[in-house]
Structure 1
Amino acid sequence: MLQRRDRIKKKIKRHKSIKAKQRGISLPYSDPKPSEVIDDYWIYAIRKKGKYPKSTQRSGKWLIFVDPKNLDEVWAKIKEATEEGKLGDCAKVATAKPNPLSGKSKANVICVYTYNWADEKDVRRVREELRNLGIKNKIPYKADEDTFNGKYGITGYTRISKYYE
């Protein structure tokens, strides 16, 4: 059990490092529309107002799958809400650069992060804010640990979500 926990800690540390690099790379693209970016997979939005707990080993994200024709509009709302401190610590959006992990889906994904999937109150608060932004359809919430372990629908995994509402 201890070895598994150590492996997970290393993966989380590596993931945080990768996330930090991606944020740095995406900074020049902080304002362009995701539909126009073709040389990076992600654009990030970072909380600018208010405090939010640091990510834990139980961090995760709401996954919002968006039709490409609506992507720029939906992302603008989520980016603003993230920066204003209404959501979690950060969010990211898939750009127009083809990603092998997206499979055959034509939808782009927007990830809205929370610090701890076990903090049900915070996870549901963020979900309610997403509803206020117009995200009314049911969406999944996935733990980052499952992402670190390569659990994606495209790789054959099902029922990965911690929440679905």
Structure 2
Amino acid sequence: MEKMENAHPSTKRKPSQENSGDWIWSSRPKARVDASKVGKWLVFCSPQQIDDLWVKIANSMDGGELAKVSIGCKVNTAGRDANKHVICVYTANFANKDSVAACLAVLRELGIEDTLYYKTDKQTRTRQYASKGYKSSIYSSADFERLKPTAQMGMF
């Protein structure tokens, strides 16, 4: 795990030790985006992995490669499932597949190897969850893997 003394403020709270039921956020300075176009990659992991993974992602959001392709990220602290946490990594426009792919490429560079799913914020606001029988994503990482995108593709 990286040193915490000079860490970004969002990494000073450990998701595995929080039980408030809220989220820890890390985001770029306010970017102007159309809220109806926002979407996010969903990164699921175990309580044993969440603290280290959150530090990697939040630090990359704070001036690293993720800051170039994402508008923000958050991690749940007390999810519905005690065996699983989720980190949401947001992009400005779900229809911009180059942007979505570039964000995925950075997540891969950070060492995230699992199959990931991408959903729109609208799907979340209308409570479209797989556990409720809905198709809860519009993309999976498999949709982009053969493209071999790079972080240089940009965000917009």
TM-score by length of 2: 0.75
Distance in 2, matches of 1:81 and 1:143, equals: 22
Residues 83-92 or 130-139, more deviating: 83-92
* Aligned partner letter, 2:17: E
Q: Which of the numbers 63, 73, 94 marks the counterpart of 1:91?
A: 73
* Structure 2 residue corresponding to 1:144, chosen from 113, 121, 144: 121
Structure 2: gaps (5+ residues):
1-8, 142-156
Question: For residues 31 and 87 of structure 1, do their structure 2 counterparts lie closer, same or farther at Cα, with a shift above 3 Å needed?
Answer: farther
- Provide the secondary structure at the position in 2 that maps to 1:123: helix
Name the aligned partner's letter for residue 34 of structure 1. P
- 1:43 is aligned to 2:19: no
The answer to whether the 8 Å contact 1:143/1:161 transfers is: yes
* Aligned partner (choices 41, 56, 61) of residue 40 of structure 2: 61
Name the structure 1 match of 2:139: 163
1:114–1:79: structure 2 CA closer, same or farther, 3 Å change rule? Answer: same
| Structure 1 residue 32 corresponds to structure 2 residue 8 | no
User: Which residue of structure 2 lines up, in the alignment, with residue 72 of structure 1?
Assistant: 51
Structure 1 alignment gaps of length 5 or more:
1-27
Residue number among 97, 101, 106 corresponding to 1:124 in the alignment: 101
CA deviation profile, 1:62-114 (whole Å, cap 9, x unmatched): 0000111000000001001112124411100011x2x3xx3x56210000001
2:90 corresponds in structure 1 to 113
TM-score with structure 1 setting the length: 0.71
Secondary structure of the corresponding residue to residue 125 of structure 1:
helix
Identity of aligned residues (%): 35
Change in Cα spacing, 1:52 to 1:125, as seen in structure 2 (3 Å) is: farther
Alpha-carbon distance, 1:154 to partner: 2.0
For the residue of structure 1 that corresponds to 2:19, the secondary structure is coil
Write the deviation string for residues 30-80 of structure 1: whole angstroms up to 9, x where unpaired.
Answer: 5211112112421001125xx855243121100000111000000001001
Tell me if the contact between 1:87 and 1:112 (Cα under 8 Å) persists in the aligned partners: no
- Structure 1 runs of 4+ aligned residues shifted over 2 Å read none
Residue 137 of structure 1: how far off its partner (Å): 1.6
Q: CA separation in 2, counterparts of 1:35 and 1:122?
A: 30
Which residue matches 1:22? Answer: none
Give me the whole-angstrom Cα distance separating, in 1, the residues matched to 2:118 and 2:97: 11
Partner of residue 153, structure 2: none
CA distance in 2 between counterparts of 1:91 and 1:128 reads 15
CA distance in 2, matches of 1:122, 1:131: 14
Larger proportion of helix = 1
